[in-house]
Amino acid sequence: MTASTAAATVRTRTGGPRENGPKIFEHVMGWTFVIVLAMLVAQLGLL
């Protein structure tokens, strides 16, 4: 096995969401962000 194939088999974590994490939490936080952003746009009169 060469160094390039050995490096390809090891996955480096980059700080993103975990694959086995709580999906419902990410879903709720995403929708919360969308709602807060829509409220900000409406308050600023950009709509």
Please tell me the chain's helix, strand, coil percentages from 3-state DSSP, rounded to the nearest 5.
60, 0, 40
pTM over 0.85: no
The pLDDT value given to residue 42: 93
The pLDDT value given to residue 33: 98
The pLDDT value given to residue 46: 83
Task: State the residue for tokens 């409406």.
Answer: 42
The pLDDT value given to residue 6: 57
| Tens of pLDDT, residues 1-47 | 566 655 556 667 677 666 666 788 989 999 999 999 999 999 999 86
The pLDDT value given to residue 23: 85
